[in-house]
Structure 1
Amino acid sequence: MLLFFALGLLVHFVFFASIFDIYFTSPLVHGMTPQFTPLPPPARRLVLFVADGLRADALYELDENGNSRAPFIRNIIMHEGSWGISHTRVPTESRPGHVALIAGFYEDVSAVAKGWKENPVEFDSLFNESKYTWSWGSPDILPMFAKGAGGDHVYTYSYDSKRQDFGAQDATKLDMWVFDNVKDFFHHARNNQSLLSKINEEKIVFFLHLLGIDTNGHAHRPSSRDYKDNIKKVDDGVKEIVSVFNHFYGNDGKTTFIFTSDHGMTDWGSHGAGHPSETLTPLVTWGAGIKYPQRVSAQQFDDAFLKEWRLENWKRLDVNQADIAPLMTSLIGVPFPLNSVGILPVDYLNNTDLFKAESVFTNAVQILEQFKVKMTQKKEATLPFLFTPFKSLSDSKQFDILRKARSYIKHRKFDEAVSLCKELIHLALKGLSYYHTYDRFFLGINIAIGFVGWISYASLLIIKSHSNLIRSVSKEVKKPSHLLPCSFVAIGILVAFFLLIQACPWTYYVYCLLPVPIWYAVLREFQVIQDLVASLLTYPLSHFVGYLLVFTLGTEVLVLSFFYRYMLTIGLTAFAAWPFLTQLWTRAKVTSLSWTFFSLLLAVFPLMPVVGRKPDISLVMGAGLLVLLLSLYVVTSLTKRKDSFIKEELLVHLLQVLNTVLSMYVVYSTQRSLLRKQGLPLMNQIISWATLASSLIVPLLSSPALFQRLFSILLSLMSTYLLLSTGYEALFPLVLSCLMFVWINIEQETLQQSGVSCKQKLTSIQFSYNTDITQFRQLCLDDIRRAFFLVFFLVTAFFGTGNIASINSFDLASVYCFLTVFSPFMMGSLMMWKILIPFVLVMCAFEAVQLTTQLSSKSLFLIVLVISDIMALHFFFLVKDYGSWLDIGTRQLLACTAWLFICISASPNRLWIPSDPGLDLNLLHAIRACISHYVIVMSMTIFLVFLNGLAQLLTTKKLRLCGKPKSHLM
């Protein structure tokens, strides 16, 4: 069994990793020739303002008095430049947004997962192609464009990351720091000849990253006065900086200014998903080479924004975010970033038609270069007779389009040349997508074959080792044949040779060869398959079909719950009716009614909003009061006992009462302090971290008696959960735990109903690390239901309150009791622990279910393995090339963390001895939705090992406040 679980972890690791190798590979290619427009550019220098987290409507709309919050920018729109909407892509985070703006491509997930501040992958950018670049702003953004830039020509000036404090009195100081340092820079340049000569060069860039708006949006919401006032201050700062540039360069008319944002922000102060408030960002340009305002009587946009903003008479020019990079490069005459997939928005250019045509031609050649390199790489790695080229853009067609476009330019047919070049760009982008996904079907088929084989093998192992299903069928011991292993060895050699002659990556060998030993193991159990078929023939067909239909329906409800959270409500409602459809109602009326009540109560939570809820501390306080009442009940019940350990037990529970009271105080006082903009009080921070640190220690001091230990775990974890809550989700663990307590009782009733004798009464059962193996029994059909309940409750814990979505939308309010200074790793870790708490409660309850039903955890794990793998296979086939990341509202964070935990936590115990960025432009982000479902289900099985270990630690270990532990635990 040890070997099986070790191989099982290895197989699931391969299945887990495969989805990243198939869909999350980098689309970047290298070896292209830089392309630039041969005509003189209109500007010598470019100034890029990026107001982090600024929504388009927040900038363009008028306030309640009919005045603009950004009068200088609005004056630019009406009298000096061009404007529009920049459409961003998910994930709407700062790093991908800035990469799209400055490098011209939509960063793949593999790069985002490898790092944030630095370049995990090599890519070209506007800064790298410039002669000099000076940048000011956040230490989280600037370094990634400086590191890896060719030569020593990108200079960065950043403030201390501690300045980004969401509880600070005035986050606009982040923007003021930038503006003040830029002014000091130019003042210093007048007395520094070396610097003066550099900033008077051509092809230079100045980048001002303004983080104040984003920080105020997270801390106070975009509807707040702080957010709106910050926009006004940014507008004033931009006006002042423009004046500095014009004065320094003597109004030479050779400076281009671009004002935009990396992403927007939702009404509740988050970003990361695909809501229009996050994907619609402003773009205002003016200066050298930019068109002046165009008055129009009608526009092509049918949204209501223009009238609300009172800008319907000024032509709006929308772009994709990656299009801004080629616009900037053409304005200052540097080569297009090599990996850019942006399309030059010629409508923004105020230049000759020849310049526009030449610039778009260069843009087309630059993207075509990427296509050629990608095609060559794939052609060289594929056997000639198996290679299928992208037929829409053959070599002859490339040559014809380029020749015709060059002819149009020569004969001054500039509009025709621009149109033809854009056609070439779109074909090249489709070709890039084609070659980037070339091996996807081949790899997917191999993974699916391995998946089906593994599910089959696990099912056969359950039937063979943990059930009585085939006991009545006689088995003849046959002499093993060498034909089967020799055949599979030959198949493996052929597959490896096929991959070798195509020079495939080593991971391809893993994905393609893994199904070989799996299916060999399945076919070795051919006798078990025969016996199983013979046994099933003895069962009534209607009985078997009924169980199969119920299992299939339940699995589909689980699958659909990943897309539609209300399916959890439907499932819990069906759970509520379960006792009345069986004999349980007649045996245990009170328990059945309790089960129904708490199932229906828990069913309410999936109907609550996932994200967008406003903080409601009164609900958190209410949850705290319920915890105190529960604590009072436990303390009262302890006082009635007369054993020798009563004082120690009382002391433990009084400590938990104190923790709960302190947590309620910290939540209340922290919110008041933040509202007064006084930051997070130090004492509150100390109490919060102390409560978190003690949450896993205090339960170990309580009695190992089943219900007392479970109560202690709930009370201890709830103190931490209150500190991490902002609203109704604080009630979720309480309701979930109540249902778990009832589940423990009801499962023992079902066991007695099935005729299995219970050796102990529920009240006398104690958690113990050393469990008597003789009390375990063989599996029955009812155990499949128990395993299904476990999976369903785990999924409910996962999506019940939308905690995963709050990570995706980056709702920082949940961690303000612990820290307010921006720290992605620490904040993410705290949010992960908040998500883990309901999981831990479910697994601790199931530890009790295993004891009360005399169920072996080995057999349980196999059933859960099969259920989750069936779901994962379902999601594997559901991967589509459309959708949005918020379809589920999750990230790889959970999966990656689960893998980390399993690597460090899977030790022997009593259970057992141990897409496409910039190609289709929506492709990668669309695929992420279904892939996220797959990742979660795949990690669930592996995650179960860690949860089992943690649940065992919390339920079976016993610490003493003083003295030596007794050999006999209470």
Structure 2
Amino acid sequence: MNIIMFFLVGLLVHVVFFISIFDIYFTSPLVHGMTPQHVPLPPPAKRLVLFVADGLRADSLFKPDINGTSRAPYIRSIIKERGTWGVSHTRVPTESRPGHVALIAGFYEDVSAVAKGWKENPVEFDSVFNESRHTWCWGSPDILPMFAKGATGDHVYTYTYPAAMEDFASTDASKLDTWVFDEVKAFMNSARGNQTLLSKLHEEKNVFFLHLLGLDTNGHAHRPMSKEYLENIGLVDEGVAEMVSVFEEFYGYDGKTAYVFTADHGMTNWGSHGASHPSETLTPLVAWGAGLQTAQRASTTQNYNDDYLKAPLMSSLIGVPIPLNSVGVLPLQYLNNSLHFKAESMYANAIQILEQFKVVRPYSVRLFSCHSSLYRVLTDSKQMEFVRHTRELIQKGQFQDAIRHCETLIAQALEGLSYYHTYDRFFLGSSVVLGFIGWTSYVVLVILKTHASLRKPPTSRDMVSGRGFQRVFIGVGLVVSFFLLLQSSPFTYYIYCLLPVPVWYFVVSFFYRAMLTLGLIILGLWPFVSGLYRKAKSRSVSWVLSCLCLAVFPLLPVVGRESNINYVLCAGALTLFISCCYLCSSYGRTGLHMRDLLLCVYVLASTHSSLQMKQGLPLFSQLVSWATLGSSFFVPLLSSTRLFHRLLSILLSLICVYLVLSTGYEALFPPVLSWLMFVWINMEQEAVDTQNSLFHSFDPASVYCFLTVFNPFIMGGLLMWKVLPLLLYLHILFLIVLVISDLMALHFFFLVKDYGSWLDIGTSISHYVIVMSMTIFLMLLSVMTHILTSKRILIGQKMKMHFK
């Protein structure tokens, strides 16, 4: 394979490795084709007003200020007199998009959004807005459009302010909330003169969504303990009070409006969010109005309600189907309604989640899935039995039993959804790992073949074996392809499963022990990579020399050599030198080992001389050799138990036996290996106090010199640019770096996460992506380097350009 072809194949292989994590870890859990589930009883509310204070911490709202007064007196009065409240728990990643998806759609953020976009929907999903009769939304252009675009029909209306208003450098971002309140008042006033709009507003199952971004923007710009942030809480409280008055007056105080006030996430003291600190995950939840409990705390700080539970709650209040993709369980403790209504609502909730399980199971299970690999908890017969038994309980009025039965089914269905969502992960991951290992092994062999002068002319036997290898691997490829075809597997599965076949064909076509040499050379760089060189220069030099000396042995021939006693004598001398360097006579019986070592060297020399003169094996030499072998098991026990002394005692005893068994350079191997081992122990002790960490700075403040208006793609691009210069220094020693990079990438492949905070997910992806990007970049750079250093452009008289 010529160098250009090698680079192109390598580039293709690494592109496949690069995209594999998105097919393996970041596939969408959402499925389609379910039937909406309706509750047959009338709902308690005709309309819902949802306030989401973006970035509001629970403690900032509930705790009084230094004077003991509430920062939000109106919401405080709701809690005391006519509402139910609690602390809701926002699951990581604590960001605006996933927080709102959990609130309004009832499921955790689709992880495929990591790869497919922020503002736009990566996939279509159902939501409370979509299930409503009409929804009117006011707020940020980053949040509202994603729910309007995913809605069927034309019944979700959005009113957003210009994106330029979301300025982190703004003096006070509370104007974003003021804009929302003013727009809602103007909208309701204008409706009185618009008969068409007025008719829509008086229909049932309507939703009004007020997205309040001022707190989040002020928190980022000025921190949550700032005057701007705390005063913004008071402004939001006044705005909520005014909005309630507007809605109540508009609808003639009919008592059919339900209100929910909450937040999508909190914020740390330093003005960030995305991870799992309680200041980021704990948010307030206050609900009042039609169908809701009065003056009651629905949860404690030890028993949080997750954000995704609010979608079933809001759906139940206004009588719309729970969003089809929701995985939330209706929090009954918030409802002020009959047990019959609660039982019917829980039944609809259970069937809604079971519908998802029914759809995802046949999609995930392939033709040849074994019986034991299926999720046996929810078989078809068990599902039918559940439906029959639950309906019987409700008809008999045994509502509490029906609710408990539904809760059990929901837990089983959710477990099954998770099981089938990750059904192919092990299979695909194993294929990619085989490809990784095969490619890395092939690159190592290319290095050895190209630079270690280990080429050998092919024999007829090699050619026959090569044709046999071809047949075997072609057969393997056909079998894999046939299996995937019968399984109706996606196209990408063919790539991941077939890629290891040609890669491993090149690997098994030739193999050399010299692979160990490269590993030892790389190992010799450890002190410089870890930073130990600055703390222990002499030991680092000793480490490098011992690694290089040991790296010679795999390159030496195994058979077909002549005996050379001089190597054995040198080994004895080297062993004596090492023992003198690491032992002092005060530590124990050093003299005993020295005597045995000198005696073995003498026995070896005298035996060799006697055999050369055809005088046979001297009896003395024979007795000493057997005695040395027998005593090697007991002499170390006479030494001190101190680590270095005991280890050296064991090694010297074994080396004595090894010397008398050696005939050539192999005698040098134990002392060199012992040298490396003792240096390694010393270096490990130094490494205990040395810790190195790699930090990626994703603080938005890093790009404030470029922009302050929120734009995730530009900000992300600028932050990635920070690490780009690191790639420019790695174009040398390409193949060695390629091997190291692939090993690192394989390590990071296993550490990729599809759960946790944006920071956790993003960091796990970025580690893998950076390594793979570096490798792809090096591939392209090496091709360019090869062209620029080996080609020449000649311009003839007719101005024709060609390569020479």
1:326 paired residue among 303, 312, 315: 312
1:356 paired residue among 342, 346, 364: 342
| Pair 496,455 (structure 1): closer, same or farther in 2 beyond 3 Å | same
Question: Which whole-Å CA distance do the structure 1 matches of 2:105 and 2:142 have between them?
Answer: 17
CA contact (8 A) 1:274 1:886 kept: no
Matching residue of 2:359: 373
Superposed, which structure 2 residues align to 1:335-350 within 5 Å? 335-350=321-336
| Pair 155,353 (structure 1): closer, same or farther in 2 beyond 3 Å | same
1:404 paired residue among 355, 370, 389: 389
Matching residue of 1:420: 405
Question: Which whole-Å CA distance do the structure 1 matches of 2:16 and 2:715 have between them?
Answer: 29
Query: Does residue 823 in structure 1 map to residue 729 in structure 2?
Result: no
| Pair 584,163 (structure 1): closer, same or farther in 2 beyond 3 Å | same
Matching residue of 1:452: 437
Query: Does residue 890 in structure 1 map to residue 778 in structure 2?
Result: no
Residue 192 of structure 1 deviates from its aligned partner by: 0.9
| Pair 301,87 (structure 1): closer, same or farther in 2 beyond 3 Å | closer
Residue 486 of structure 1 deviates from its aligned partner by: 1.8
Deviations 1:625-655 (A, max 9, x none): xxxxxxxxxxxxxxxxxxxxxxxxxxxxxxx
| Pair 266,236 (structure 1): closer, same or farther in 2 beyond 3 Å | same
| Pair 449,410 (structure 1): closer, same or farther in 2 beyond 3 Å | same
Matching residue of 1:942: 776
Matching residue of 1:913: none
The one-letter code of the counterpart of 1:287 is G
2:427 paired residue among 417, 423, 442: 442
| Pair 820,384 (structure 1): closer, same or farther in 2 beyond 3 Å | closer
Query: Does residue 488 in structure 1 map to residue 376 in structure 2?
Result: no
CA contact (8 A) 2:353 2:413 kept: yes
TM-score by length of structure 2 reads 0.75
Q: Which moved more, 1:107-116 or 1:57-66?
A: 107-116
1:869 paired residue among 742, 762, 765: 742
Residue 549 of structure 1 deviates from its aligned partner by: 7.4
Superposed, which structure 2 residues align to 1:833-912 within 5 Å? 833-837=721-725, 839=726, 843-844=728-729, 857=732, 860-878=733-751, 886-887=759-760, 890-891=762-763
Residue 877 of structure 1 deviates from its aligned partner by: 4.0
The one-letter code of the counterpart of 1:582 is V
Residue 417 of structure 1 deviates from its aligned partner by: 1.4
Question: Which whole-Å CA distance do the structure 2 matches of 1:584 and 1:864 have between them?
Answer: 21
CA contact (8 A) 2:61 2:71 kept: yes
Query: Does residue 577 in structure 1 map to residue 536 in structure 2?
Result: yes
Question: Which whole-Å CA distance do the structure 1 matches of 2:749 and 2:525 have between them?
Answer: 18
| Pair 64,131 (structure 1): closer, same or farther in 2 beyond 3 Å | same
The one-letter code of the counterpart of 2:346 is V
Question: Which whole-Å CA distance do the structure 1 matches of 2:722 and 2:17 have between them?
Answer: 27
Q: Which has the higher Rg, Structure 1 or Structure 2?
A: 2
Equivalent position SS for 1:136: strand
The one-letter code of the counterpart of 2:63 is E
Matching residue of 2:23: 21
| Pair 152,548 (structure 1): closer, same or farther in 2 beyond 3 Å | closer
1:276 paired residue among 253, 267, 278: 278
Question: Which whole-Å CA distance do the structure 1 matches of 2:199 and 2:165 have between them?
Answer: 33
Question: Which whole-Å CA distance do the structure 2 matches of 1:935 and 1:886 have between them?
Answer: 15
Matching residue of 2:702: 814
Deviations 1:765-813 (A, max 9, x none): xxxxxxxxxxxxxxxxxxxxxxxxxxxxxxx9x964x3x2x42xxx322
The one-letter code of the counterpart of 2:716 is G
Matching residue of 2:71: 69
| Pair 67,467 (structure 1): closer, same or farther in 2 beyond 3 Å | farther
The one-letter code of the counterpart of 1:62 is P
Superposed, which structure 2 residues align to 1:106-185 within 5 Å? 106-185=108-187
Residue 48 of structure 1 deviates from its aligned partner by: 0.5
| Pair 867,386 (structure 1): closer, same or farther in 2 beyond 3 Å | farther
Deviations 1:207-248 (A, max 9, x none): 001111111011111111111111110111011001111111
Matching residue of 1:523: 508
| Pair 552,281 (structure 1): closer, same or farther in 2 beyond 3 Å | farther
Matching residue of 1:792: none
Question: Which whole-Å CA distance do the structure 1 matches of 2:752 and 2:217 have between them?
Answer: 35
Question: Which whole-Å CA distance do the structure 1 matches of 2:504 and 2:769 have between them?
Answer: 24
Question: Which whole-Å CA distance do the structure 2 matches of 1:881 and 1:178 have between them?
Answer: 35
Equivalent position SS for 2:157: strand
Residue 880 of structure 1 deviates from its aligned partner by: 7.3
| Pair 112,208 (structure 1): closer, same or farther in 2 beyond 3 Å | farther
Question: Which whole-Å CA distance do the structure 1 matches of 2:142 and 2:392 have between them?
Answer: 47
CA contact (8 A) 1:274 1:885 kept: no
Q: Which structure 1 residue ranges, 5 or more long, are not aligned? A: 303-316, 537-543, 559-567, 587-795, 848-856, 892-928, 954-970
Matching residue of 1:598: none
Matching residue of 1:85: 87
CA contact (8 A) 2:64 2:71 kept: yes
Question: Which whole-Å CA distance do the structure 2 matches of 1:443 and 1:286 have between them?
Answer: 49
Q: How many residues align?
A: 640
CA contact (8 A) 2:106 2:309 kept: yes
The one-letter code of the counterpart of 1:439 is D
Equivalent position SS for 1:480: helix
Matching residue of 2:564: none
The one-letter code of the counterpart of 1:819 is L
The one-letter code of the counterpart of 1:939 is S
Equivalent position SS for 1:392: coil
Question: Which whole-Å CA distance do the structure 2 matches of 1:475 and 1:112 have between them?
Answer: 50
Question: Which whole-Å CA distance do the structure 2 matches of 1:421 and 1:101 have between them?
Answer: 22
* Aligned residues: CA RMSD: 3.1
Residue 262 of structure 1 deviates from its aligned partner by: 1.1
1:461 paired residue among 408, 430, 446: 446
Equivalent position SS for 2:40: coil
TM-score by length of structure 1 reads 0.62
| Pair 400,933 (structure 1): closer, same or farther in 2 beyond 3 Å | farther
Q: Which structure 2 residue ranges, 5 or more long, are not aligned? A: 546-689, 788-804
Matching residue of 1:640: none
| Pair 69,457 (structure 1): closer, same or farther in 2 beyond 3 Å | same
Deviations 1:683-734 (A, max 9, x none): xxxxxxxxxxxxxxxxxxxxxxxxxxxxxxxxxxxxxxxxxxxxxxxxxxxx
Equivalent position SS for 1:109: coil
| Pair 950,578 (structure 1): closer, same or farther in 2 beyond 3 Å | farther
CA contact (8 A) 2:7 2:783 kept: no
Equivalent position SS for 2:722: helix
Query: Does residue 32 in structure 1 map to residue 15 in structure 2?
Result: no
CA contact (8 A) 2:93 2:759 kept: no
Equivalent position SS for 1:334: coil
Q: Which moved more, 1:37-46 or 1:482-491?
A: 482-491
Question: Which whole-Å CA distance do the structure 1 matches of 2:758 and 2:242 have between them?
Answer: 39
Deviations 1:477-513 (A, max 9, x none): 7662322212211111111111111110000000111
| Pair 463,415 (structure 1): closer, same or farther in 2 beyond 3 Å | same
Residue 385 of structure 1 deviates from its aligned partner by: 5.3
| Overall identity of the aligned pairs, in % | 61
Residue 524 of structure 1 deviates from its aligned partner by: 1.9
Matching residue of 1:850: none
Equivalent position SS for 1:827: helix
Residue 403 of structure 1 deviates from its aligned partner by: 2.3
The one-letter code of the counterpart of 1:250 is G
